[in-house]
């Protein structure tokens, strides 16, 4: 698998209780204050727990549960806190709240589900599968929302079980491109290339710009010796996501076999450069899984994503950096820069004001801000920043 399959934080739990929870901005992760140390300990304890040891509810207890059900008041606190932690990328802390909830209300379906998703995010696929299986058992009518369980089995190399589960998800939710994609990849792993090809084409019918589907299709066709048919899909994948190493890797081989050696060499160079950065990105993402409050790691990750032009990832990561807050002008300037790059001038300008406060006597920061204000056409602010720089402020 080339990357973690994106999983949206399912609305099963939060639909029932969105009141009072910030919708867009991630909350800052836990900081090492006295009360929060306790949360870290709870998070560590949650990570050490075996999800198989969770108590069972009486059979049928949740059989009539629906995502539209009102959240019981006594559970609201943990739900809100759990969502805040999850949104901040602090999956261990989120698990702690969800376990607390499940200890009080056994097999409460949305908590089972969300805890499974937390494990999935933590790349603990076996543990995730245990909880998601229990969720499906408790509320089988919600199976259409459990493509993550298919992803777990796929990530564990259990492709037959993944295939079976994706099939069930699709029976309930036939238009899920991610479930079709999962089914396609499971079929491919099971050696059923033809079926995989059909399914990937179906993904492309649902979402013609699905870069990953193009890349897999190219790969299967190439592996089957259909080099000419693989080429347009590899090129489309490359065009859609030029920062991904895989299309370049494939293209290098396809071009070489098509006697286009110069193109092959160029593709290999791009493969090597994108591959290096992709590895660094993976490394930073891995660090954040277990230490989501680390400003430097977010900075590094955002800088890497920016360097390859991946706006979507920068857009996802930036709010985390913003939420952590900063007393450093360089971080504030980076945020300004990123908002500007994303075309969000309003946020860029707002953050620039914060950066001014933090800039203090740092001439370089003021010069940078003066340039920024000039770029966005704010002459007064540019003049003010330049004056501060000239004054050696």
Partner 1 sequence: MPILLILLAAPALSQAPEPTAAAAKPLFLEDQARALPGVTMTCGSKAKDYILEVNGGGLALADLDNDGDPDLVVVDGSTLERIAKGEPGFPPRVFFNDGRGVFSPAGPAWAMSGGRWGMGIAAGDVDGDGFVDLVITQWGPTRLFLNQAGKGLKEASEKAGFVGSRWGTSAALLDIGRDGFLDLAVVNYLAFDPLLVAKPGGECTWKSYPVMCGPEGLTPQHDQLYKGHGDGTFEDATQAAHFVPTEAGFGLGAMTVDYDGDGDTDLYVANDSTPNHLWENQGDGTFVERGFARGVSHDANGKEQASMGIACGDLDSDGREDLLVTNFSGEAISLYAAKGPKGFRERSSATGLAGPSLRMLSWGTGFADLDLDGDLDLFVFNGHVYPQADLPGTDTTYAQADQLFRNDGAGHFSVETLSDSKPRVSRASTFGDIDGDGDVDIVALELNGEVRVLRNQLEAMRAPADASSEPTRALHWTGVRLRARGKNTQAIGARVRVDWEGGTRWCEVRTSGGYQSAVPAEIHVGLGSAARVKAIVVRWPDGTESSLQDVAADRVLTIEEKAP
Interior/surface letters 151-162, b for 16+ CB within 10 angstroms, e for the rest: bbbbbeebbebb
Does position 240 interact with partner 1 (CB under 8 A)? The reply is no
CB of 188 to partner 1, least distance (A): 6
Candidates 252, 305, 331, 351; binder of partner 1 (CB under 8 A) is 252
Q: List the beta strands (DSSP E) in the chain.
A: none
Provide the CA 214 distance to its chain's centre, in angstroms: 20
Per-residue binder mask for partner 1 (CB under 8 A), 101-130, x = binder:
------------------x--xxxxxx-xx
Does position 277 interact with partner 1 (CB under 8 A)? The reply is no
3-state helix, strand, coil in the chain (%, to 5): 70, 0, 30
Based on DSSP, count helices (H) and strands (E) in the chain, helices before strands.
20, 0
How would you class 240 by CB atoms within 10 Å of its CB: exposed for 0-12, middle for 13-18, buried for 19 or more?
Answer: middle
Does position 275 interact with partner 1 (CB under 8 A)? The reply is yes
Does position 271 interact with partner 1 (CB under 8 A)? The reply is yes
Q: Which of 149, 338 has the CB closer to partner 1?
A: 149
Does position 249 interact with partner 1 (CB under 8 A)? The reply is yes
Contacts of 23 (CB under 8 A, 6+ apart): none
State the Cα–Cα distance between residues 51 and 98, nearest whole angstrom: 11
Q: Which of 182, 245 has the CB closer to partner 1?
A: 245
State the Cα–Cα distance between residues 209 and 239, nearest whole angstrom: 10
Candidates 76, 156, 172, 229; binder of partner 1 (CB under 8 A) is 156
Residue identified by tokens 């009141």 is 19
CB of 21 to partner 1, least distance (A): 27
CB of 119 to partner 1, least distance (A): 7
Candidates 235, 257, 328, 378; binder of partner 1 (CB under 8 A) is 257
Is residue 197 helix, strand or coil? Answer: helix
Per-residue binder mask for partner 1 (CB under 8 A), 62-91, x = binder:
------------------------------
CB 131 within 8 A of CB 116: yes
Q: What residues make contact with partner 1 under the rule CB under 8 A?
A: 1-2, 47-50, 52, 56-59, 119, 122-127, 129-130, 133-134, 136-137, 155-161, 188-191, 193, 219, 222-223, 225, 245-246, 248-250, 252-253, 256-257, 268, 271, 275, 279, 289-290
């Amino acid at each position: 698998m080339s990357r973690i399959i994106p999983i949206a934080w399912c609305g099963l739990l939060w639909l029932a209780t969105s009141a009072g929870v910030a919708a867009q901005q991630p909350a800052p992760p836990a900081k090492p204050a006295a009360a929060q140390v306790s949360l870290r300990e709870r998070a560590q304890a949650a990570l050490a727990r075996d999800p198989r040891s969770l108590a069972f509810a009486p059979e049928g207890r949740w059989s009539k549960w629906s995502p539209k059900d009102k959240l019981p008041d006594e559970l609201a606190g943990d739900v809100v806190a759990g969502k805040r932690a999850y949104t901040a990328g602090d999956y261990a802390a989120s698990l702690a709240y969800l376990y607390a909830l499940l200890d009080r209300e056994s097999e409460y379906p949305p908590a089972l589900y969300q805890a499974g998703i937390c494990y999935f995010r933590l790349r603990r696929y076996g543990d995730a599968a245990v909880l998601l299986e229990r969720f499906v058992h408790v509320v089988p009518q919600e199976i259409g929302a459990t493509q993550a369980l298919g992803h777990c089995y796929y990530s564990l190399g259990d492709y037959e079980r993944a295939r079976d589960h994706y099939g069930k998800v699709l029976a309930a939710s036939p238009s899920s491109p991610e479930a079709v994609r999962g089914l396609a990849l499971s079929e491919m792993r099971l050696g059923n290339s033809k079926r995989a090809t059909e399914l990937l084409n179906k993904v492309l019918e649902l979402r013609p710009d699905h870069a990953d589907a193009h890349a897999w299709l190219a790969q299967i066709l190439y592996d089957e010796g259909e080099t000419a048919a693989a080429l347009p899909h590899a090129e489309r994948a490359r065009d859609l996501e030029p920062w991904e190493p895989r299309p370049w890797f494939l293209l290098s081989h396809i071009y070489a076999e098509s006697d286009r050696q110069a193109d092959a060499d160029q593709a290999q160079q791009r493969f090597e450069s994108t591959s290096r950065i992709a590895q660094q990105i993976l490394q930073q993402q891995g660090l954040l899984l277990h230490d989501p409050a680390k400003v430097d790691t977010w900075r590094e990750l955002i800088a890497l994503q920016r360097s390859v032009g991946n706006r979507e990832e920068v857009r996802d990561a930036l709010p985390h950096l913003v939420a952590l807050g900063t007393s450093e002008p360089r971080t504030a300037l980076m945020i300004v820069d990123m908002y500007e790059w994303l075309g969000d001038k309003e946020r860029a300008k707002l953050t620039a004001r914060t950066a001014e406060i933090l800039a203090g006597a740092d001439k370089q920061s003021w010069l940078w801000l003066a340039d920024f204000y000039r770029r966005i056409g704010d002459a007064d602010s540019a003049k003010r920043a330049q004056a501060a720089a000239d004054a050696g402020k």
